[in-house]
Amino acid sequence: MAYRLIIAEAFLVAASACIGCGACVAACPNSSAMLFTAAKIAHLGELPQGEPERLERTKNMIEAMDAAGFGNWVHRRNSNVKASRYAIRIRTDDGLTGEYVTHWVGTPAAMAQSLMLAPHLLGRDPEAREQIYDDLKRELRAYDHMGHGPLDIALWDLAGKKYGTPVSKLLGGFRTRLPTYASTYHGQDEPGGLDGPEAFADFAEHCKSLGYRGFKIHGWHDGDRRREARNVLGVRARVGADMALMIDPACELHRVAVRAAGRMDRAADKGIPCVLGPLDARCCHASVSTHRWDRAYGHRVTGTPAGPRPNLGT
């Protein structure tokens, strides 16, 4: 009993570390909103005062999150999503400009980092990109660096315009064709879209008919390893052995599930070339033993198995 009490107290301290300010939601309206909601549901559900209403409170909080437009995106026919991103423009005193428009990662949090770093560019030689990169990297050592890349890319754009050549040439690029693959969004429980293994298999078959030779699966957000396994095996059965398959659980699986994925990967040559980002971040960061296991054995799951690498085509 004493041991269980200590564990419960440790859990409450961790969950209550969220003070409900909502800053994470403002910075990343999708993932952090779910993190915020989950933290408060867990915190209030474990408190004795919150015990009687825990089920109704959980249902109401999730419905409120969905009504506000947060959470996992789902496919709904004839619907649309408004996304705001930001652009970078760097000007020099001799009239040159470097520009870059962000995409998925251009969140308000990333923009705040870019604004924080921008003054460090004043008076610098725009072609000293390597030195600038290291200096800005050091400035963001306590952050996730998402606002660093757009500035660096804009400096490369400036150089390409100055010398009248594509940035790929400045980087030493020589390829004229690149391998590509089709990639899904995450599965959904709401009817429509990728709402089950059959829907994933249908979409994979359609992508194969369009000429794609590789297909990456993003499963659900609940870490259900059995459903993930059924999904992957169902897609393989539908598209056959000549289409490269990848699965990206987006850090939703726990260690036991990753081990299961590794066994599935090696068993009967199912032809799953790689598993990307499998471990739940909570599992990695909260357990030293799990982190050690991931470093020692994770490559056996996440790396490409022995043998020739599949040609994804172009």
Instruction: Let me know whether 291 and 200 are in one domain.
Output: yes
Q: Is 144 part of any domain?
A: yes
pLDDT at residue 33 is higher than 50: yes
* Confidence at 127, pLDDT banded by 50, 70, 90: very high
Spatial CB neighbours of 187, under 8 Å, sequence gap ≥ 6: 194, 195, 196, 200, 218, 219, 220, 231
> Considering 119, 136, 170, which residue would you say is the last residue of a domain?
170
The enclosing H or E element of 244 equals strand 244-247
Instruction: Let me know whether 195 and 104 are in one domain.
Output: no
* Confidence at 9, pLDDT banded by 50, 70, 90: very low
Instruction: Let me know whether 271 and 163 are in one domain.
Output: no
Instruction: Let me know whether 208 and 257 are in one domain.
Output: yes
pLDDT at residue 54 is higher than 70: yes
Question: In degrees, to the nearest 5, what angle opens at C-alpha 181 toward C-alphas 175 and 151?
Answer: 60
Q: Is 21 part of any domain?
A: yes
Question: pLDDT value at position 8?
Answer: 39
> Considering 146, 170, 194, which residue would you say is the last residue of a domain?
170
Question: In the predicted model, what is the mean pLDDT of residues 11-16?
Answer: 43
User: How many angstroms separate the CA atoms of 297 and 290, rounded?
Assistant: 10
pLDDT at residue 210 is higher than 80: yes
- Percent of the chain topping pLDDT 90: 36
Instruction: Let me know whether 45 and 116 are in one domain.
Output: no
pLDDT at residue 267 is higher than 50: no
Helix crossing, 288-302 with 255-266: angle to 10°?
Answer: 20
Q: Is 269 part of any domain?
A: yes
State the DSSP code for 194.
S
Beta-sheet strands, E only, within 92-220 = 97-101, 182-183, 214-217
End-to-end alpha-carbon separation of the chain, Å? 60
Q: Is 254 part of any domain?
A: yes
Instruction: Let me know whether 156 and 190 are in one domain.
Output: no
pLDDT at residue 264 is higher than 60: no
CATH number at residue 103: 3.30.390.10
Question: pLDDT value at position 84?
Answer: 79
Closest of 94, 85, 101 to residue 28, by C-alpha: 85
Instruction: Let me know whether 165 and 188 are in one domain.
Output: no
Question: pLDDT value at position 135?
Answer: 95
Q: Is 177 part of any domain?
A: no
Question: pLDDT value at position 222?
Answer: 77
> Which range is most confident: 77-81, 139-143, 211-215, 293-297?
211-215
Question: pLDDT value at position 279?
Answer: 47
> Considering 143, 170, 197, which residue would you say is the last residue of a domain?
170
**Identity of the amino acid at 84:** S
Instruction: Let me know whether 42 and 95 are in one domain.
Output: no
Question: pLDDT value at position 34?
Answer: 66
User: How many angstroms separate the CA atoms of 285 and 73, rounded?
Assistant: 26
User: How many angstroms separate the CA atoms of 151 and 115, rounded?
Assistant: 10
Question: In the predicted model, what is the mean pLDDT of residues 189-205?
Answer: 93
Domain that holds residue 135: 87-170
Q: Is 198 part of any domain?
A: yes
Tell me the per-residue pLDDT of 285-306, one tens digit each, with 9 for 90 and over: 444 555 555 555 554 443 433 3
Instruction: Let me know whether 236 and 190 are in one domain.
Output: yes
Q: How far is CA 4 from CA 47, 50, 193, 203, 232, in A?
A: 15, 19, 42, 46, 38
Please indicate whether residue 129 or residue 65 has the higher confidence score (pLDDT).
129
| Total domains in the fold of the chain | 3
At 302, give phi and psi (nearest 5°).
-85, -20
CATH number at residue 286: 3.20.20.120
Instruction: Let me know whether 207 and 241 are in one domain.
Output: yes
- Per DSSP, the three-state class of 2 is helix
Q: Is 284 part of any domain?
A: yes
Q: Is 175 part of any domain?
A: no
Q: What is the mean pLDDT of the chain?
A: 75
Instruction: Let me know whether 289 and 194 are in one domain.
Output: yes
Instruction: Let me know whether 203 and 291 are in one domain.
Output: yes
Tell me the per-residue pLDDT of 69-126, one tens digit each, with 9 for 90 and over: 555 677 888 887 777 789 999 999 999 999 999 987 787 878 989 999 999 999 999 9
